[in-house]
Amino acid sequence: MLLVTGGAGFIGSNIVASLNEAGITDIAVNDILGSGPKWRNLAQRRLAEFVPAADLLRWLEGRKLDAVVHMGAISSTTEADVDLLMEHNFILSVRLFEWCAQSRTPFIYASSAATYGDGGAGFVDDWSSAGLARLKPLNPYGFSKHLFDQAVIERIARKDKLPPQWAGLKFFNVFGPNEYHKGEMMSLVAKRFDDAKAGVPIALFKSHRDGIGDGEQKRDFIYVDDAVAVVRWLLETPRVSGIFNVGTGRARSFRDLMTAMFAALGRAPDIDYVDMPEAIRNSYQYFTQADMSNLRRAGFAAEFHTLEERVKTYVSRYLDRADRFR
C-alpha cells in the first residue's frame, strides 16, 4: 500500500490519478476535505482507505507501507498563521520522516521553490548544509518548507537513521486540473480562463523594471503531469535520494502563458497591462527558473512538454469542458 498525504489536493490527487491509471489502487489518502468541492478531485479515483488528518499518526502504528508520498501541507504563500504552518508543514513532516526511517519506508515529500526567496542566491538545488544556509525565504510558507529541508540534511549529517529512500521536490509553478479549490493560489490559466472565453480582456502587471517589458515577468511553469512523472520515476527508482528542483528548466513570461491560453481557444490575445500595486513592487519576483541538472544527473531522462502544448491540453481536456476534474 502507498500512502499519499494531501491526496485530495492539487498535486496529490493527480498522483493518485496517475497511479490508478497505471492499475495501482492499493492507495491510502490522507487529507482534509471540508465542505467545498475538493472531494471532486477524488470522485473518479479508486482508493483502499481514506485517513482523516487527525487520525494519521495513530493509523500508521504497526503499518507496513511501500512508500509515503507526502504532499500534504498548507500551500498558501500568503498564510500568515506561522504556528499553523509550522504544525502542518514542519512538525508533521518531521514525524512522518522519522516514522519512515524507523519502519524502513521510502519517503517522498513536497518542498517548494518558495524556499529560494527572491532568487538572489540562484535556483540551484544544492542540498548541502552550506547550500541551504544561503537561501532566504520571503514568507512564512517558504520558511516552513525550508526549515524541513534543513532538518532532513541535519539528520544526514548526524548519521541518524534514515528512510531507505528520501526525496524532497522543490516544485516551481505547477498548473493543471484539480487546482480549482486553491482560490487565489490557482494558476493564472485557471483564474483567467472563464474571462478569456467570455471575451473579457485579461489584465497583467506592467513592468516596473528597466529592460523588462510589460507582462514579461517570467516563471518556470510546469504542467502537473510532468511534475507527477518525477514522483512516479522516484517511486520506481529507489536508489535515488536527494532534494531536487521540479520545473522545466525554461522560464516563460506571463504574456506567453496568456497567449498560449488564447491560442488554445482559437482567439487573438486580448491583454491589458495594469500598474503593479506599490506595496509589492519592491519585493515582486521578476524571474524564476529551475536548474534541472541534479535531477538529470540522477537519471531522470523524460522530456518536459512545452508551455504551448500543456496549456492546450489543459484548456481542451479540462477547462473548456463541463467536468473539469481529472
Q: Which three cell numbers stand for residue 224?
A: 502537473
Nearest one of 131, 170, 123 to 150, comparing CA atoms? 131
Choosing from 141, 180, 223, 314, which is the catalytic residue?
141
Q: Give me the catalytic one of 136, 182, 197, 206.
A: 182
CA dist., res. 317 & res. 67, Å (int)? 30
Question: What gap in Å lies between CA 170 and CA 122, rounded to an integer?
Answer: 13
Closest residue by Cα to residue 129 from 154, 148, 146: 154
Nearest to 259, CA basis, from 307, 314, 220, 217 = 307
Annotated active-site residue 109? The verdict is no
Decide if 286 is catalytic.
Answer: no
Helices within 71-181 (DSSP H only): 82-85, 92-103, 129-133, 140-157
Contact 215, 253 (CB under 8 A): yes
Which residues are part of the catalytic machinery? 141, 182
